[in-house]
Amino acid sequence: MPHGVGQFAKAKYLSLETFRKTGAGVRTPVWFAEDPARQPTTFYLYTLPDSGKAKRIRNNSKVRIAPCNMRGDIRGAWVDARARICERDEGAKGQSLLNQRYGLMKRIGDFFSRMRGRTQIVLAIEID
């Protein structure tokens, strides 16, 4: 297990830091789920295709993550990682892991997202 990954085991949120073209970091607290079968350690999260974090990841896959609370207050050490947008099958697996982890709350959010006509993409975060 890469250094620092165990700190995410009990965390409900992680802070995802993506980087603007200027190099400035932007931190966002997000729900996440780990795929225990994948190496390197891979976390999945979801977002809107046109969100700022998705745009920044398309431009620069380098990210940092740390456990945090729902407000984004950091609760552990920062870990360097790489992010990518998942293709259909891996995205479905990521959504399934997120649904298992967050249950009814995620499903309710997904329902209202669909009612607004919003689509989601899944991001994979792989620890360096």
Q: What is the CATH number of the domain that holds 80?
A: 2.30.110.10
Residue 128 has pLDDT above 80, yes or no: no
Q: Considering the entire predicted model, what is its pTM?
A: 0.89
Residue 26 has pLDDT above 90, yes or no: yes
Residue 61 pLDDT level (bands cut at 50, 70, 90):
very high
Q: How many domains does the chain have?
A: 1
Please state the rounded mean pLDDT for residues 17-29.
97
| DSSP-based three-state secondary structure for 127 | strand
The domain containing residue 12 runs over which residues?
5-127
Please state the rounded mean pLDDT for residues 35-55.
91
Quote the CA–CA distance of 77 and 3 in Å, as a whole number: 10
Quote the CA–CA distance of 57 and 21 in Å, as a whole number: 11
78: nearest Cα among 10, 33, 25: 25
Residue 36 pLDDT level (bands cut at 50, 70, 90):
confident
- The phi and psi torsions of 40 (rounded to 5 degrees) equal -70, 170
| DSSP-based three-state secondary structure for 104 | helix
Please state the rounded mean pLDDT for residues 63-91.
96
